[in-house]
Structure 1
């Protein structure tokens, strides 16, 4: 859920936020920061926001263009993608860490959002240290060459 508020990915949403929505989503964001990944429920978020579950559901769909479940799965997949590229953890461990109840759900949603399974994604995009080092090489250019 935390990553689901990524404005670079989603833009500012379908409609602009008014001040009461900004406060509402800040309260939700703070709650999500304190709660383990697999325990985010729409009813809890609605209660924190002080609105009904149905209102919360429609509000999320209106603001982000995705349902709560889609937004949550997308955010979990973004976290999984970072872990796939930055760690050597097994997919089942990443799945649990991201809040999926079963690794098959990670695979299902990951393929939906990234068009690759998690293992295919890792093979395609993770660089070994030698490749990374070769891309980080640079040449010393004299200052006189800049003029």
Structure 2
């Protein structure tokens, strides 16, 4: 199935939401989905797995998941041990404060997650307590809505991000080699290749041959891990790449269509609107108006 776009219905002038200590069961979890907002998910208790971008991650109490915008993901909580989690969603421009120190970026952990594929952090004390306290304080501010609560929420969130960023920086300084995700190595390589080069031709037969497995087995494992077939997954990745180019470049839409692997702009327009609900031109204009 195609990934769906998760909608948000809060205040458009304050693009920030917190789902605090919600119980997650398989029956009420979204299938593969994505959204423009950045997301932090903290696991208070329970067990399950998380599919993020191109890999599966075991999730358990104390885990923090860092999910950049426009990243395909879905959760599968354990039937007997449902997940209790808090999920924080925000537009990156809301918390990307102008730093006094040019070396600091409040969204560093999201950049690190996207570039390294490290979306999961197993929190230890005292960072676990810091995270739980910050989420509780943010929840209270949103609930009570006292004078200046928007600023309080932003400050609390930025303080939390600072602690997470410092931990991520310590990982980078130690040159830690972290092996993430589960699943066969050949599938990891295929998913990584699609992620890095979504514009390339990626038929089931070619990918199965490259992985040295049969096409039926490849198809079965691929759908099990991503809940999509190859064509749907590649199209989702291409549209994610297209959205980045529409925002970060002034390339013509026809050129972006070609760069993302579409033979004709018409096909690109059709797929873009099917997955995002708007045309490429309207999407670019909406981002310029933010």
| Length-normalised TM-score, structure 2 | 0.37
What RMSD, in angstroms, separates the aligned Cα atoms of the two structures? 3.0
Stretches (4+) displaced over 3 A: 11-14, 29-36
Counterpart in the other structure of 2:54: 5
The structure 1 residue matched to 2:188, chosen from 14, 26, 32, is 26
Matching residue within 267, 272, 280 for 1:110: 272
TM-score, structure 1 length as denominator?
Answer: 0.69
**Corresponding residue for residue 261 of structure 2:** 99
Gaps of 5+ in 2: 1-51, 57-66, 78-180
User: How far is the alpha carbon of 1:5 from its aligned partner?
Assistant: 2.2
Question: Do 2:190 and 2:207's aligned partners in 1 also have CA atoms closer than 8 Å?
Answer: yes
Unpaired runs of 5+ residues, structure 1, are: 132-147
Contact 1:76 1:99 in 2 (8 A): yes
Of Structure 1 and Structure 2, the greater helix share is in 1
1:71 pairs with 2:229: no
Counterpart Cα distance in 2 of 1:96 and 1:80: 10
Larger relative strand fraction? 2
Q: Is the 8 A contact 2:203 2:231 kept in 1?
A: no
CA distance in 1, matches of 2:76, 2:262: 26
- Structure showing greater relative contact order (alpha-carbon pairs closer than 8 Å, 6 or more residues apart): 1
Aligned length: 123
Contact 2:273–2:280 under 8 Å retained in 1: yes
Q: CA 1:4–1:103 in 2, change beyond 3 Å: closer, same or farther?
A: farther
Q: Distance in 2 between matches of 1:70 and 1:36?
A: 12
State how 1:129-140 maps to structure 2 within 5 Å: none
